[in-house]
Structures are given as C-alpha cells and as structure tokens.
C-alpha cells in the first residue's frame, strides 16, 4: 500500500467511527429519556390469558386504571 492509501484509509475509519459513536450516543440518550419520562403502570389486572399452540400465540387481556399504551 502506498502512504497516500494509508492516510485515506485512516481518515475514512476516523470519520466512520465518529459517526457510529454519535449514533450510539443518540440512541442511548433517547432510550434514557424514554425510560425516565414514561410513567410506570401502577396496577395491572390480568383478565384473560389464552394460549394457542398452532400458530404459537399468547393473548393477554389486561385492565389498567386509566387508558394508556403498554409496550
């Protein structure tokens, strides 16, 4: 490899790793904010639980104190 090729490779790797680091930090920040700001369910009551073997499925019907989305 010529010296210019090594400099070019080094520059490309530095740019790629910098972009990857920014993406990873942004994902971690977004996950941290999401877990901090998402309210925790205080009480959940399981009303119905159905298991199907073919196709494999688990269906759970729950009651929560007020309307919300549970992921």
Does a structural domain hold residue 46? Answer: yes
CA nearest to 62, candidates 54, 70, 39: 70
Which domain range does residue 42 map to?
Answer: 3-63
Per residue in 4-48, pLDDT tens? 999 999 999 999 999 999 999 999 998 888 777 766 666 778 888
Note the pLDDT of residue 33.
Answer: 83
Number of domains observed in the structure of the chain: 1
Does a structural domain hold residue 68? Answer: no
Between these two residues, 69 and 58, which has the higher pLDDT value? 58
């Amino acid at each position: 490899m010529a010296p210019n090729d090594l400099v070019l490779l080094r520059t490309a790797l530095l740019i790629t790793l910098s972009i990857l680091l920014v993406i990873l930090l942004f994902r971690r920040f977004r996950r941290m904010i999401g877990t901090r700001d998402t309210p925790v369910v205080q009480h959940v009551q399981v009303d119905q639980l159905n298991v199907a073997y073919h196709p494999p499925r688990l269906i759970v019907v729950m009651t929560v104190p007020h309307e919300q989305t549970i992921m």
